[in-house]
Amino acid sequence: MSKMAAVAAASSTSIAPIYRAPSSSRAPPPISTLTLPLTLNHKNLRSLHISNSLSKPTSSTATTSAPTTEKLSFSRFAPDEPRKGADILVEALEREGVTDVFAYPGGASLEIHQALTRSNKIRNVLPRHEQGGVFAAEGYARSSGLPGVCIATSGPGATNLVSGLADALLDSVPIVAITGQVPRRMIGTDAFQETPIVEVTRSITKNNYLVLDVDDIPRIVREAFFLATSGRPGPVLIDVPKDIQQQVAVPNWDVPMKLPGYLSRLPKNPNELHLEQIVRLISESKKPVLYVGGGCLNSSEELKRFVELTGIPVASTLMGLGAFPVGDELSLQMLGMHGTVYANYAVDKSDMLLAFGVRFDDRVTGKLEAFASKAKIVHIDIDPAEIGKNKQPHVSVCGDVKLALQGINKILESRGARGKMDFRAWREELNEQKVKYPMGFKTFGEAIPPQYAIQVLDELTDGNAIISTGVGQHQMWAAQFYKYKRPRQWLTSGGLGAMGFGLPAAIGAAVANPDAIVVDIDGDGSFIMNVQELATIRVENLPVKIMLLNNQHLGMVVQWEDRFYKANRAHTYLGNPSNESEIFPNMLKFAEACGIPAARVTRKDDLRAAIQKMLNTPGPYLLDVIVPHQEHVLPMIPSGGAFKDVITEGDGRRKY
């Protein structure tokens, strides 16, 4: 066996799953015992029972006990009937409850697509670029809590998934990506469209596989979905050589998973003594504040109950928006670089910081030594790599935030805590800051303030739309001025900051939530990076609304140029330099080319009616909102700065 084949063989058996650092959005269903939902869809639900319980040490044997599986009635094949590896792969997806995939075909994945046409359970939503497919799978997962599935061919098809996989790892999004690969005998020969995608993606996936035996497909697919959705969620990649897809075999659906190391590292139930200690610290504090992130998206009800029992104000990260209702009187909205003054003030002055489902990201903390410098820190997170990584906590619990909050709430309720904890003076102090430094914006003549456009959208949708964004100023304004009421309403590329995310993510959200209002709030720079997905929206007739905040510039970089580079423009103008008076490119023509209704609005007085028309029009719609490029996202704490450095005034109309 060649060296390359030996390495590949190791990856087809049991690669130790990689626990990666960064993220904010964590844990789907609670993983306190290993009775886990294997079918992650509302249809054909069944359970996987694994003998190892998290409350006990796991076995040191190489294989996990065989899960019990039901005989599924939807198989197109008789139990002993041979079928292609591609058909085994598709049926394995069906058994995981997959109903939608985002797959773009090519030579090395052709067999998989042929098998998909034979499935009456799985619908393929055809993206127009593989990056559009993986971002759509993310939008599906982020908005539903179910794993998203994307499929691409080998070589450039597979490498086009890289940004989406990195994004999913950083934001803890459950994704299963499947790629075609050249036949096994050609691996390592620099064959046409050959890329060692397992090696390329090793550091940006939670785990990945190269399938070298057709009989491994049922186990590998089962493991991939389990890994993607358990513990701290993340992306898993399965690379399937073409000859494996073509090989005929009879699948064994009862082969056990081989994840002893991973199972042994999954967090245990929170220790009640630690929870008691947290309750005691809260009762001793005078100025506590909650700092909640994406790890709280699956524990929103428990979080709201905790706030009800304690009266502690809540500051949210970018990824945590919606875990606690933004419009609640105890909400401080977002903290961090572009967070509210009062959220950052609360953290700065607090004596107790309750950090739940967060990772102390640099865009939140700024200068680490100055962040919550007066506070005792309690950190609860499902990933042990995050505890103490950036900021050392006084008390830490490595476990599911949902289970920890349930335990804390139970202790508080047993003690009749409601009404006993009195933080009124602290809340009044923060309310003074809200009055002193409200979120606002200025209006200049008939020009449309971008913040106002989002505010109007919030009013007309009653805060109930699913919002996706690209990356830049429009993203921050969407975080600041839309009042999210519930988890999974807010879809944005947080950790990676991938431009071009908004439009395909909206596609995924619309597929997963067919009855929801889905709006992509985008910037002209981000929008054009995946503009080809307008074709997918039209062909699938998805009711995605696109509100484009078009300032003809790379707005966030322009803001930094204004503030720190004497407004020297270094390739941040996205229009046509030879004719700056015209809007270029004409976004309405892109929509027209794909048969999507579109309109442009330039005056503030016309905006409300234009947004209402967008919302009232059946199917997709693009609204091109022309906004001034001089606007700055405020407040702003400069990178590496502290709360004392916060900027609250100014824009590109003045010099610095």
For residues 295 and 431, state if they share a domain. Answer: yes
Comparing 71-85, 91-105, 210-224, 623-637, which segment has the lowest mean pLDDT? Answer: 71-85
Domain with 286 in it: what CATH number?
3.40.50.1220
For residues 316 and 244, state if they share a domain. Answer: no
**pLDDT tens digit string along 121-164?**
999 999 999 999 999 999 999 999 999 999 999 999 999 999 99
pLDDT, position 416? 81
pLDDT, position 420? 76
For residues 144 and 177, state if they share a domain. Answer: yes
Residue 355 lies in a domain: yes
Mean pLDDT of 425-442: 96
Residue 157 lies in a domain: yes
**pLDDT tens digit string along 157-186?**
999 999 999 999 999 999 999 999 999 999
pLDDT, position 342? 98
For the cut 70, the answer to whether the pLDDT of residue 558 exceeds it is yes
For residue 418, give Cα distances in angstroms to 174, 279, 406, 414.
36, 13, 15, 10
For residues 457 and 524, state if they share a domain. Answer: yes
Question: What are 107's two structure tokens?
Answer: 């030579």
DSSP state of 440: -
For residue 450, give Cα distances in angstroms to 442, 491, 521, 576.
10, 19, 10, 22
pTM of the model: 0.89
Domain span holding position 499: 450-633
Sign of CA dihedral 405, 411, 415, 420: negative
The maximal CA–CA distance of the chain, rounded, in angstroms, is: 76
**pLDDT tens digit string along 376-412?**
999 999 999 999 999 999 999 999 999 999 999 999 9
Residues annotated catalytic, as ranges: 130, 192-193, 242, 556
For residues 88 and 198, state if they share a domain. Answer: yes
Residue 413 lies in a domain: yes
For the cut 80, the answer to whether the pLDDT of residue 12 exceeds it is no
Residue 11 lies in a domain: no
Helices (H), 14-70: none
DSSP state of 32: S
Show which of 436, 470, 485 is a domain's final residue. Answer: 436
Show which of 212, 237, 264 is a domain's final residue. Answer: 264
For residues 454 and 421, state if they share a domain. Answer: no
pLDDT, position 40? 38
d(CA 242, CA 229): 27
Comparing 64-68, 390-394, 631-635, which segment has the lowest mean pLDDT? Answer: 64-68
Burial annotation 370-409 (CB, 10 A radius, 16+ → b, else e): ebbeebbbbbbbbbbebbeeebebebbbbbbbbbbbbbbb
d(CA 519, CA 205): 29
For residues 276 and 252, state if they share a domain. Answer: no
Name residue, tokens 């797959």: 103
Residue 580 lies in a domain: yes
d(CA 535, CA 531): 8
Name residue, tokens 């015209």: 582
Residue 528 lies in a domain: yes
For residues 156 and 215, state if they share a domain. Answer: yes
Residue 484 lies in a domain: yes
Question: What are 506's two structure tokens?
Answer: 């909206």
Q: Are 633 and 334 in contact (CB under 8 A)?
A: no
For residues 138 and 200, state if they share a domain. Answer: yes
Residue 531 lies in a domain: yes
d(CA 177, CA 537): 21
Show which of 368, 402, 436 is a domain's final residue. Answer: 436
Domain with 605 in it: what CATH number?
3.40.50.970
pLDDT, position 54? 30
How does residue 497 score in pLDDT terms, banded at 50, 70 and 90? very high
Name residue, tokens 């009124």: 424
Domain count, the chain: 3
d(CA 160, CA 489): 27
Sign of CA dihedral 334, 622, 150, 180: negative
pLDDT, position 390? 96
pLDDT, position 75? 83
> Nearest Cα to 235, choosing from 327, 301, 286, 172?
172
For residues 231 and 380, state if they share a domain. Answer: no
Query: Which element (helix H / strand E) includes 237?
Result: strand 235-241
Number of separate helices (H) and strands (E) present in the chain = 24, 22
Question: What are 85's two structure tokens?
Answer: 């590896």
Question: Strands 207-210, 235-241: parallel, antiparallel or unpaired by DSSP?
Answer: parallel
For residues 281 and 246, state if they share a domain. Answer: no
For residues 345 and 397, state if they share a domain. Answer: yes
d(CA 235, CA 385): 17
Mean pLDDT of 100-123: 98
